[in-house]
A and B are shown apart, each in its own frame.
Chain A
Amino acid sequence: MAQNPAATDPGAGGHAAASGGAEPRHGLRLLLMWIPLSAAAILIIWFVWYPHLPPGRMSDAASGQQFDIAVLAVTAAPVVIGVLLYMIYAIVVWRARPGDEGDGPPIHGHTKVQAWWIIITSLVVLWAFAFGTYQLAQPGGAGGGQGPSPIWPLHGAQTTAWSPSSNDMLQVQVIGQQWAFTYRFPQFGGMESTMLELPNNMPVEFHVTSLDVIHSFWAYQLGVKADANPQVDNIAYVKPHQLGSFVVRCNELCGFWHAAMFNYGRVVTPTAFQGWARSLQLKELRAGVLAALPPYALTYDPTVIPQLGRDIVKVAGITGANGYYYPGPQAGTPHGDPVSP
């Protein structure tokens, strides 16, 4: 918003004839109080507060968001201070003295003040828009979900077998289901895991989807947030910069255990990551888990299970939502009869 209108009012001191004595120059006084307060606030925000602002600096997206919040705070602080200062000044200086039942001066408006206000607020708003768009465009959409066709990708090589070389883009599919996140790594044979590990200093492409209702993948310290919609692939990019652990929470109300739908993730060195992923892949291969999983796809249709060789459902001729989702009681059989493929 805008700065103190009185600050730009040239005729502050010379308004309608005041009662005896020189009218104090309110505008000047306010300006002289506002400038040091704003400067102090800006300095405190930028040098004291900024390094500690959420969400931290663990990734490029998080650093960018932290920078954004700091810049917005620095832009907003003078505005807030200006308005509050003006209001306090008004309450103190322009209160009705006891016994004074008269009216105030009939000031209907002041074209210059109005014009300046509109100009300044518009400029601040446009600045915020330009800055926000620039920050959004780089790097990689600021960590937010960009839908299935992102327009701001991170730079990274799209490889089918990932290696900790210079710029391979790690693909991680985040599957939200009620009520846990699982992670699939297509570059590691499509293996799935409840734990999320990421390599440091390498680009990561998240494909967020859901199996049932809308969830939202929020990796707080990484500054990544992308909604998980069923049958939708929502892509978000991030490049972690620091080793350490981060927390993943579900950010969209998804049912009863929404609050408890969280897990921890870790950023490790690229070689450690490769070691972890490979060993998990082998483990799952040997245990037969990889064979049990559906082929990797960007979205999953819960009504199709290829291994069972047929579509699910049909009770009284209705599928999906309307009938029993999985084979259920047929006439004369008890609940939950086993079904052979």
Chain B
Amino acid sequence: MAIETQPEKAQPSGAGPAEPRPEKSWWRRPAVHTGLIGAVIGYFLGHLLGNFLSSGYAQNLLSDSNDVPIVLGYAFATIGWLAGLGVFNDLLRTTTGKPLRDVHQEEDGGERGFAKYFRFTLNHKIVGIQYLYGMIAYFLTGGLFAMAIRTELLSPSYHIMGPEQYLMVVGEHSTMMIMMMSSVILGPLGQYFAPLLIGSKRMAFPRLEALGFWLTPAAYFILLSGILFGGFPTGWTGYEPLALQAKQGMDAYYFAFGLMGLSMICAGFNMIVTIINYRAPGMRWSRLPMFVWSMFVVSFLQVLAVPVLVAACYMGLMDRTFQTAFFANQLGGSSYLWQNLFWFFGHPEVYILALPGFGVISEIVATFCRKPLFAYKVAAAGMVGVGLLSFFVWQHHLFVSGINPDMRPLFMLTTELISIPTGFIFLVGLGTFWKAKIRFSVPMLFALAFYFNFLIGGISGVFLSDVPADVTEHGSFFVMAHFHYTIMGGLIFAFFAGLYYWMPKMLGISLNETLGKVHFWTMFIFFNSTFLPLFAVGLLGMPRRVFEYADNLAGINQWSSISSFLLGGSILIFLINFVMSTLFWRVPAPANPWRSRSLEWQVSSPPPPGNFERVPVILSDPYEYGVKDAPPVADLNPPPGVVAAAYAGVATTGPGAGTGAEV
């Protein structure tokens, strides 16, 4: 395996990057500021190149808008951003024979201050915190756009925005949310805790992991730059041929989504290899924490489904710039091709959004019910089943679009079937509640709300999977309410649950509990009051993405809009809690405030550099609450020789490493 047991071997022969850090001042080392410089220079270079290549095309002369310099500008800007951050430095060092930066030296640097959070770092815990701040920023931006949408929908006939601006706002909100929130748990919590939970000192590919993070600000700013060009009129689904017809803001959508796709592929690939290869001795698959199971399955979804999106975005960009005709019916292409490529990615994508929530909630429920997780194997089977089946259901987005009608019963079947493994998650949760001793901490409150919201979201999904009912519900606010319940009611509530749960571990600081409870109750109440009426609005005939609607629906829409403003207020309460707790109050958290058995809680808060002083040996699964004389979850100070023996015994095997190393 690739575990570095002898870091001292990586010492350089001369002065260089492997030496302890504090020599150079922060502004002379590559970080965000050099990245920005690279991005700006890159954009100008790309733009110039684009103009040079394409300003003579008749299409560009006539339409007065040229997509090629914008796309090439984005491409070179991204490369410049990454180069400025120092992403390619190790690559160059390899090619020139210099020694690479060492992961453990990064960890042991013990650097103070927050400059390290703005760098291309190999420390997975810092990457997790970078993701945390990034994801919060992206979520809030998307949320502001949502406020604008609901403001416009206050009245069916009085418009504060023109049609172009409204579609721009809708597209920005939806794309920002779905693009970014696919990593909202995988990023902050997954990158931070996956190694800790499996007993590893590091990730398998720390550079890939960090690359995955640093692509996200690029995607964020590129997506927002679409506003400067009037936005894109297609919503997050980017349907052709409307996308082909759109103005320059459309390129921002394709490019940002493609970048985010690359980020997901990197993160997923890294996660799979880490979980398979870096589990500590004794960490059998049957002892893997449920959160790690969810990360594992989600990573497969990312690696297998997201490349389809990247390809589709690339083809769309080619259509718009270099005049290919993949998606233009009139020229021999097919608008159905985009729909199928997109939804082949799109459906696993929504499970990428949902599954991490399942994982986080399972952890929290076990801890706060103080009982073993009910039917562990069923839970794992549920995760895997959802992941597997998610590839077979995508045409349910296309039931009325003119697909071969033979396909409709087939996809109705697979879509209905996927509710079985999803139900396993409920079985596990409900079984864990049976005769438990439930503590209503803030994470547990969010977890309970998750079950409530996902129940509604999931059941409404069953309504949508039934083709005749879907004929009325497709493309209406019913669908909108369904996915907001599953994604926001599911994923985002799970994210907050995980955040309140793991914040003491990540930053060593507790979030204020009173504000947390206020945040929870306001968010839960106003979330439901915003989205529950939308089921009715959709069934009553209001399509999605409209800014004009039937007058008789005005009352419900106003209720929903005002609730949404209050929901925004609840997020503001969270933000205040977060900012005040991290910046000013800074209440130090004990090492294990929730008295959890899980492995990450057995080390200090925040964890020491290298996570564990020695690679632990896992003795039992983390859910053995209430079991008399249960062994601790791991031996953190195994006698010397045990670990080496474990590796010697399994050095040539793959999964199942560590089975022979129990003490």
Contacts and interface: CB of A to CB of B under 8 A. Distances in A.
B543 interface: yes
Interface stretch (B138-146, B235-243, B518-526): B235-243
B9 interface: no
Contacts, number: 336
B474 A213 contact: no
Interface string B401-432: 11111101100110011011011101100110
A257 B378 CA distance: 49
Contact of B404 (A62, A149, A328): A149
Interface in A307-335: 315-316, 318, 320-324, 328-329
B370 A90 contact: no
Contacts of A90: 430, 433-434, 436, 438
Interface stretch (B104-112, B128-136, B463-471): B463-471
A10 B568 CA distance: 47
Contact of A136 (B423, B431, B467, B545): B467
Contacts of A125: 416-417, 419-420
Contacts of A43: none
Nearest to B627: A106
Interface stretch (A34-42, A159-167, A243-251, A290-298): A243-251
Contacts of B242: 213-214, 253-255
A6 interface: yes
A19 to B, nearest CB: 11
B229 interface: no
B59 to A, nearest CB: 5
A216 B471 CA distance: 11
A249 B405 contact: no
B14 to A, nearest CB: 57
17 contacts: A1-B422, A103-B625, A104-B435, A106-B372, A108-B375, A114-B378, A117-B423, A129-B413, A143-B468, A147-B402, A213-B245, A230-B241, A247-B550, A249-B543, A256-B233, A258-B545, A303-B330
Contacts of A62: 472
A251 B330 contact: no
Contacts of A247: 541, 550
B540 interface: yes
B471 A229 contact: no
A258 B626 contact: no
B66 to A, nearest CB: 13
A306 interface: no
A94 B419 contact: no
Interface of B: 57-59, 62, 163-164, 166-167, 233-235, 237, 239-242, 244-245, 323, 325, 328-331, 335-336, 369-372, 374-378, 399-406, 408-409, 412-413, 416-417, 419-420, 422-424, 426-427, 430-431, 433-440, 448, 451-452, 455-456, 458-459, 462-463, 465-472, 474-476, 539-541, 543-550, 595, 624-628
Given A54-B540, A87-B430, A230-B335, A320 B62 contact: no
A33 interface: no
A214 B239 contact: yes
B455 A136 contact: no
A14 to B, nearest CB: 12
Given A65-B472, A103-B370, A320 B331 contact: yes
A94 B435 contact: yes
B262 to A, nearest CB: 26
A80 interface: yes
A226 B475 contact: no
A72 B234 CA distance: 32
A287 interface: no
Given A102-B370, A254-B242, A321-B331, A64 B448 contact: no
Interface stretch (A183-191, A217-225, A271-279): A217-225
A69 interface: yes
Contacts of B417: 125, 129
A225 B435 contact: no
B210 to A, nearest CB: 37
- Of B459, B476, B595, B627, chain A has the most CB atoms within 10 Å of the CB of B459
A121 B423 contact: yes
Closest 7 CB pairs of A and B: A259-B546, A142-B468, A103-B626, A234-B402, A104-B371, A90-B433, A106-B626
Given A2-B423, A136-B467, 7 more contacts: A54-B540, A69-B539, A103-B625, A109-B376, A122-B420, A229-B402, A259-B543
Nearest to A54: B539
A228 to B, nearest CB: 9
A107 B376 contact: no
Interface in A1-52: 1-2, 5-6, 15-16, 18, 26
Given A72-B463, A106-B625, A144-B470, A253 B234 contact: yes
B416 A129 contact: yes
Nearest to A179: B163
Nearest to A75: B462
Given A107-B435, A117-B427, A321 B330 contact: yes
Contact of B436 (A94, A224, A316): A94
B62 A315 contact: yes
Contact of B541 (A216, A249, A316): A249
A180 interface: no
Contact of B466 (A68, A80, A117, A320): A68
Nearest to A92: B438
